[in-house]
Amino acid sequence: MRILMALITGLVFGIGLIVAGMTNPAKVLGFLDLAGHWDPSLALVMAGAILVALPAFRVAARRRQSLLGEPMHLPTATRIDRRLVLGSLAFGAGWGLAGFCPGPALASLATGGVQPLIFCVAMLAGMGIFELLERRRS
């Protein structure tokens, strides 16, 4: 049941990204182009996502188990540290250069094309490098 719910949730999320146009790198880059023809539609999608997620996280914070009976694993970190800032900068730079972030890139794989494939391979390589560095660090 857990795997089925993960599949359904991922499909709904991916379809939402496609419908909102977030799988189109030109739309994302248009949002990031403050000096040119700025496209505010991504800000509206983000605001909508926050409006949906905020009450859901508030309810989830009061629960010990998910609706499927699994334990809740919500983030507990509240400190802004060097690793968070550097990771955010790397994420933003990749987003600005490619026009993809992980969710839309994975959803874009379903539409075909070389761009999302190259991005996903680079993303997986970056994740692998991070894991190697983390293991070396600990």
Confidence of residue 62 (pLDDT cuts 50, 70, 90): very high
Q: 136 pLDDT exceeds 90?
A: yes
pLDDT at position 68: 87
Structure token pair of residue 24: 């189109």
Q: Where are the alpha helices (DSSP H) in 62-113?
A: 82-98, 102-109
* Number of CB atoms found within 10 A of residue 33's CB: 13
- Model pLDDT for residues 67-94, shown as the tens digit of each residue: 888 898 888 889 999 989 999 998 888 8
Domain ranges of the chain: 2-137
pTM, two decimal places: 0.74
Per-position DSSP letters for 4-39, written without gaps between them? HHHHHHHHHHHHHHHHHTTT-HHHHHHHH-SSSS--
